[in-house]
Amino acid sequence: MTTLKEQLENRIEATTRWENRRQYAADGPNMKNLWVLACMDERLPVDEALGIRADTPVGGGDAHLFRNAGGIVTDDAIRSAMLTINFFGTQEIVVLQHTGCGMLSANGNDLEAALRNKGIDLDNIPIDPSLPELSLADGAFAKWIGMMDDVDETCIKCVEQLRNHPLIPDDIIISGWIWETEFRRLRAPDLTAATRAVSQPTAESMGVKGKQPPRWS
For the domain with range 31-206, which CATH number is right: 3.50.50.100, 2.60.40.10, 3.40.1080.20, 3.40.1050.10? Answer: 3.40.1050.10
pLDDT in tens, 69-113: 999 999 999 999 999 999 999 999 999 999 999 999 999 999 999
- Bridge pairing between strands 92-98 and 173-180: parallel
Evaluated on CA atoms 80, 86, 89, 95, the torsion sign reads positive
Q: In this structure, what are the phi and psi dihedrals at residue 77, rounded to the nearest 5 degrees?
A: -65, -45
pTM over 0.85: yes
Evaluate whether 44 touches 15 at the Cβ level (below 8 Å). no
pLDDT in tens, 183-206: 999 999 999 999 999 999 999 999
Query: What residue ranges do the domains of the chain occupy?
Result: 1-28, 31-206
